[in-house]
Amino acid sequence: MSYEEITEAYLKTLLPANNGLIKEMEEYASIHKVPIMEQTGMQLLLQVLHLHQPKQILEVGTAIGYSAIRMAEAVKDSKVVTMERDPERIQVAMDNINRCRLQDRITLLEGDALEIENQVSMYGPFDVVFIDAAKGQYERFFHLYEPHVTVGGLIISDNVLFKGMVAGASEIPSKRLETMVKKLRKFNELLMNDPRFNSMIYPVGDGVMVSIKKSEKTSV
């Protein structure tokens, strides 16, 4: 095992065990191969939310509602708007949200995140935008929803190291993944060099970037 794998494994041993519906969702995701956030990455996300205490959160990519529920439970007076285009996952997510009795605080919008920006804008502005959807579209998501983030707000992006491939730590097994990895590298460079944001990539989970919006202007 590499140093990174050993470190990640060690960190996981320190995390508290989940139970109830959260554990059920994790087991469902594993069985049905639904991508959800790695546990160490999730703990970083929740830690940032605890510090920032956002009121309005936007999530790009609901899947089965796992991250939306974790975020809503972490910040008790927050509201989460989340987007999903897959009908089957929408139904599972709604069932999970209802079981948690969070339907008054989590709004699930049905549709492609690249096509429903006008609908999303009705719920903004947002203190946090969490991007965890199609990896090859991260730059487009950013340009579309960054204007809806308040100054001082955050954009948090998951999977920005994508199994070590983005950093060159592991081989890229296909042309399709090679294209996606190139897009993620471009996205990382874009945010790390955008003067409006203070960004850092944290090598936990699958790589989490936290970007603090300093200004609306293109230069500072």
pLDDT digits (tens, 9 = 90+) for 145-178: 999 999 999 999 999 999 999 998 788 888 889 9
- For range 31-37, the mean pLDDT: 95
- For range 173-191, the mean pLDDT: 94
Please provide the average confidence, as pLDDT, over all residues in the chain: 95
Confidence band for 218, pLDDT divided at 50, 70 and 90: low
Interhelix angle 175-192/138-145, rounded to 10 degrees, is: 40
Within 10 A of 21 (CB to CB), how many other CB atoms are there? 15
pLDDT digits (tens, 9 = 90+) for 1-16: 778 889 999 999 999 8
The confidence score (pLDDT) of residue 219 equals 46
d(CA 157, CA 153): 13
Domain assignments of the chain as residue spans, ordered by start: 3-213
CA atoms within 13 A on the CB side of 158: 25
Provide the total of helices (H) and of strands (E) in the chain, helices listed first.
8, 7
pTM over 0.85: yes
Burial class, 73, CB count within 10 angstroms (exposed 0-12 / middle 13-18 / buried 19+): middle
The confidence score (pLDDT) of residue 45 equals 98
- Whether the pLDDT of residue 220 is over 60: the answer is no
Q: Which CATH number fits domain 3-213: 3.40.225.10, 3.40.50.150, 3.30.750.24, 3.40.190.150?
A: 3.40.50.150
d(CA 193, CA 107): 33
pLDDT digits (tens, 9 = 90+) for 82-139: 999 999 999 999 999 999 999 999 999 999 999 999 999 999 999 999 999 999 999 9
